[in-house]
Chains A and B, each alone.
Chain A
């Protein structure tokens, strides 16, 4: 499927643009990665004793895979609400620059802020990547509708995956259940590694993985925050050493 040319009558109504956005989820491998990730999140929610409704609400209202996994794993391993909220808040900071950089792509001089509300809510790493890919092919005045369609499609895929993963974890043999749970760390590790273009990102990812087991030995309940702050700051130091000082 190719998107129609910019001057095609196929873009004449916002609903047609919504439809093109919806259909665009079939045009990216990231949809498959999201499906696998949310299959894993559904299974993870089951095995850490959250309800299916809870898992679906988290996908619908949080709509950020890493934050959902941080929330489920920290709460599931006995962290307090405050500790989980801090870890999730820090992980979600990256949404701020994403929203800041993606909204100008769909804004027109007459766009009102509330028209961008859903686009802002739907912004997460996958949508952010796809916006930069698809939006140049979409007429500017139809981009908000297109993004809403794309986001609606991706959320639907993930809600389906959550439900399937939840029931699979409840009914599968232990080995296959383990395989579904393993999808989460694998897909996040590789999709984050793929998005790491700067040295700081690569160092943060590698050090973050390696430092966690050390931080966990302290058993402070803040393991993830401690290892994340240390590894992230060292990574920033490497970036500073190479770029700023040079």
Chain B
């Protein structure tokens, strides 16, 4: 019999019941909650007279609606009354049901997918859910992490289980070493460009290979984060020394003898040598250049040296029409060089790229330079209050501010523009976020997905440029 994949092991370790009809009950170790996808779930519990199954498995924080300025005012600082009600509702629900919440003025508040790993609330081998598709982020720790809908949030609150059908196994193997200046974000964009936005549908993806092994935990998080942009609910990386070193000493991580016992288990969280995958995709990591998306789907991406495609060259009529529609929305011409795209705004932040390493990479590029006068705005939004504090301790805030970037407070911000941070109609933005859908960052806004270093390079030049030209 063939060995097990990492996904097989995680599945087996969380299986409560296999039903005859092919569905299964999977136990959930951790649920992260935020204000947008939880109110109807709590209301559902209340209407049915149910209580949460296990309080200590849940952690909540407001992130999508929070403003990134004037945070000392707390909830009162949320100008939009509808947004304020949603954040107040989360506070009220967590207080009523007794769920731990990092509230808006708590330094531990931040984007759910940043604070889980930061607190050690994300531990290797856990099953983790959140009413947010980017929950795949936590798979970087060898976790089984799913994004779920609100009905499932309620189901997990009430039962600590999720009804699932086992997915297929896919290995995405990135061989070789990445070139300097090429980041985890570029790797995942290149993967999505190769397999397409539905390439991972129905699969749990494990990212492996020399290039992935050589990446930091934060870079691995950026990669797993965007599994969903390749269609996969679950993305994972096997546990190694980097994983264990990252977790050690964090507030929710085990200590003493329990730590040693945990590490022994975590060391088993990798695919066996003879494990069989339903699909294997290989990429040459050394051939990946910094990536820039040009269209309105994350698969519409190319290297910075490339050009916008010409729909006339596309044989598939549905794809051709998709390109025509995307170019019209994006205001781009066929064959236009990526480096000729002029920008209006730059956004560095989001659950994909707002951790300390991301900010260090961006700061290294803008240091001693100035934001291009052609830009209307360039902003940096750290992923959590603790990331912000760390960056300030390292002096990164001063580097950004001196270069002319705005230094904001933590939250999802312009990634999806539920707060006041948004693009105007027709504006082009170099964004370190994860989705370039029509209207995602604001009505009529035009998003180009890039790494933090590439966004920083775009900020100081006003257009896309290969960041390696600015690195010494």
Q: Do A and B come from one complex?
A: no
Where the two chains meet, the residues of B that have a C-beta atom closer than 8 Å to any C-beta of A are: none
